[in-house]
Amino acid sequence: MTKAEDVQVPGDSGDMDYLRRILLAPVYDIAVETELTPLTKLSSRLNNQIFLKREDQQPVHSFKLRGAYNKLSNLSEQECIHGVVAASAGNHAQGLALSASKLGIKATIVMPITTPEIKVDNVRRFGAEVRLIGRSFNEAQAASLKFAREEQKTLIHPFDDIDVIAGQGTVAKELLQQQPNADVVFVPVGGGGLLAGMAVYLKQLRPDIKIIGVEAEDSACLQAALAAGGPVDLDQVGLFADGVAVKRIGKHTFDLIRRYCDQVITVNSDEICAAIKDIFEQTRVIAEPAGALSLAAVNKYCQTSPGDELLVAVLSGANMNFHSLRYVSERCELGEQKEAVFAVTIPEQKGSFRRFCQALAGRVITEFNYRYVGSDKAHIFVGIRLSGAQERQQLADILEQAQYKVRDFSDNELAKLHIRYMIGGQNPMPVNERIFRFQFPEYPGALEQFLDTLGELWNITLFHYRNHGAAFGQVLAGFEVKAEEEQDFFEHLKALGYSWQEETNNPAYQAFLTR
């Protein structure tokens, strides 16, 4: 967490002009007043009153419609003759495209090639021309400047523009009308338009209110600007929260934020994923990563806050790329600190898996990866569900007391993003390996029950299990089965009572897991 410096008393003439512009912005010609939704379950858990400002309810599922329409409605007839052009990672593009359509203005949108398909399709659906150029917002912005010069189009900046900032400030106007007693407001930051517009309005009317800007850890251009004393370029930005993937904060926006923002909090991808889950459980809305930034910061803030405050988080957008849900689901429990990821060394002997499960004392195993390497020690990669952050160290201590060597990889990005899927490889030992898939009803203790039923008659050479929250658990297991043992082995499998299928001749197994 970083404190913003040089906080001044609000009220100079320039900022009063912002207040006037916000109050007179004609955004409701196209935008709607969005709900302020109480998050009762989360409020109880975090010991604060927590509300969510629902900008997902806008026609384009993002607050960006407000600033775009306010800017276009203030253009002269001359500025509209050749149309407008803008660069956007997605939400500004949709807001501008819909606004231009309503006002009868031709719009061209330059979008990075990394923009989620859902946003590109929506921009085209609203009638704008889309040009996919560059790998970041800054590269798209450079292209839009070129088109503006060459084609005499009016450039509409997505955040660093007085009318855009004023349009975004109307979110704060609604918020104070809906909840005038708010103590802290959390606002996501990309280029800073929303934070600047909301902060200047809120501080004019409620100087005592606390304004917290929220950035993605890998796109923290505001923090960099505060440290440098002015806007600077980041070397690179992360793309998970694509709506705030901006390398340089705006000049106008930074000037306002530096005066009126009290604090900046950064959140990582796991914390964002956990917030997406919280929002879904409370509202049944799937927020995009940038849209969930603020609630992720609320979770972080409440870990050290005194409690009993009225906190408002802005859900800035809900244009989630469907294919990103797989990543979100995979990471949210780590973000909630409800899953630990350990590397554990156990004896390479029959029954070791079952005894390890017993040492967990009934805790749910979310993942179990192992590959036989022929030594006297087996190295497993295991995920374990926790009740909270404090249990992680307790569990590590319990396993070490049981004589297991444990390494905690819960905060290791390489382990979480790649290594967990690469455990395995070819069996280096000349054993008669047979591979099987098993399916069993999923419930607490189901994996341990499966291992108990499996018994200790055959050496396990490979094991992979991942709890996906489905009704049935899936296990891939390898066994060392000698030719003279085959009949007994298959009779044992049939007696288990589980659904199974042999995969020894599967080409994927043959290609990657056997010599």
Residues 6+ apart with CB under 8 A from 211: 184, 185, 187, 195, 198, 199, 202, 203, 260, 261, 262, 263
CATH 3.40.1020.10 corresponds to the domain 337-512: yes
From the list 310, 328, 331, the residue with the least C-alpha distance to 53 is 310
For residue 427, pLDDT over 70 is answered with: no
For residue 326, pLDDT over 70 is answered with: yes
Contact (Cβ atoms closer than 8 angstroms) between residue 265 and residue 189? no
Query: How far is 307 from 188, CA to CA, in rounded Å?
Result: 22
Q: Which residue has the higher pLDDT, 293 or 466?
A: 293
Q: Which residue has the higher pLDDT, 114 or 177?
A: 177
How does the average pLDDT of the chain come out, rounded?
A: 87
pLDDT at position 428 is: 67
State the amino acid at position 117 in one-letter form.
Answer: E
Q: Which CATH number fits domain 2-57+162-333: 3.40.50.1100, 3.40.720.10, 3.10.640.10, 3.40.50.1980?
A: 3.40.50.1100
Secondary structure of residue 358 in the 3-state scheme? helix
pLDDT at position 415 is: 79
Residue 340 pLDDT class (50, 70, 90 cuts): confident
pTM of the model: 0.76
pLDDT in tens, 73-107: 999 999 999 999 998 877 899 999 999 999 999 99
DSSP, res 49: E
**How many other CB atoms are found less than 10 A from the CB of residue 189?**
33
Query: How far is 43 from 65, CA to CA, in rounded Å?
Result: 29
From the list 88, 94, 121, 116, the residue with the least C-alpha distance to 324 is 116
pLDDT at position 470 is: 55
Residue 513 pLDDT class (50, 70, 90 cuts): confident
Mean pLDDT of the region 180-184:
97
Catalytic residue among 53, 64, 277, 338: 64
From the list 124, 169, 327, 180, the residue with the least C-alpha distance to 242 is 327
Mean pLDDT of the region 251-270:
95
For residue 303, pLDDT over 80 is answered with: yes
Query: How far is 25 from 48, CA to CA, in rounded Å?
Result: 33
Contact (Cβ atoms closer than 8 angstroms) between residue 462 and residue 478? yes
Query: How far is 214 from 233, CA to CA, in rounded Å?
Result: 18
Contact (Cβ atoms closer than 8 angstroms) between residue 48 and residue 308? yes
pLDDT in tens, 186-215: 999 999 999 999 999 999 999 999 999 999
For residue 343, pLDDT over 70 is answered with: yes
Known catalytic residue at 64: yes
* pLDDT-wise least confident of 134-148, 167-181, 372-386: 372-386
97: left (phi over 0), alpha (psi -120 to 50) or beta: alpha
For residue 156, pLDDT over 80 is answered with: yes
- Per DSSP, helices labelled H in 185-232 are 193-205, 221-228
Domain boundaries, the chain: 2-57+162-333, 64-155, 337-512
For residue 71, pLDDT over 50 is answered with: yes
What class, spelled out in words, does domain 64-155 have in CATH?
alpha beta
Known catalytic residue at 316: yes
Query: How far is 355 from 452, CA to CA, in rounded Å?
Result: 10
Query: How far is 270 from 267, CA to CA, in rounded Å?
Result: 8
**How many other CB atoms are found less than 10 A from the CB of residue 343?**
18
pLDDT at position 514 is: 74
Catalytic residue among 88, 219, 269, 316: 316
64-155 has the same fold as 2-57+162-333 = yes
Mean pLDDT of the region 236-260:
90
For residue 4, pLDDT over 50 is answered with: no
Mean pLDDT of the region 419-424:
70
